[in-house]
Structure 1
């Protein structure tokens, strides 16, 4: 791995601090409580209790900084079946330009835009 390249040291799993997982768990529980409340009648008290738990989970997400728990991985490279050499993420050898005619075409206008 090149020096200075962003990578994760957690072995490819889903990293995160315990506090971040706690906030996510509170959000999931709130969503489940609200969903059960809607399925049981609807039981509006249970629904609004679930909404309150979700709001608490949202506050925990903000306080704990959950979105800072991002693991950045290098792009995966797959070998080219014909040559056996490493290929880039789209199947081309790294640093090799796309063949003519394979470049991304401009988007076509929608029928309503014509």
Structure 2
């Protein structure tokens, strides 16, 4: 059992972490709104890339995911 350890899941999580980090850096010490919104964009893209990669066959198979 892989517990979600698929290329789609790893890519989405890493992209989300990078986006959140960029957004956080954009707020410290003074808000730099351009960098912040770039981070928001990367984080939103992670939510799109994960399901797209999964649909392309790089995610967990439905039958495998249902067996616990």
Using structure 2 for the length normalisation, give the TM-score.
Answer: 0.70
Greater Rg over alpha carbons, structure: 1
- The yes-or-no answer on 1:21 pairing with 2:10 is yes
Runs of at least 5 residues in structure 1 that lack an aligned partner in the other structure: 1-7, 73-114
- Separation in 2, partners of 1:21, 1:45: 26
Q: CA deviation at 1:40?
A: 3.2
What do the CA deviations read for 1:3-23 (whole angstroms, capped 9, x no partner)? xxxxx2x5xxx5511232011
Runs of at least 5 residues in structure 2 that lack an aligned partner in the other structure: none
Runs of 4+ in 1 over 2 A off after TM superposition: 64-72
Larger RCO (alpha carbons 8 Å, 6+ apart)? 2
Q: Looking at secondary structure, tell me which structure has more helix per residue.
A: 2
Corresponding residue pairs, total: 61
Q: CA deviation at 1:42?
A: 0.4
Using structure 1 for the length normalisation, give the TM-score.
Answer: 0.45
Q: CA deviation at 1:37?
A: 0.4
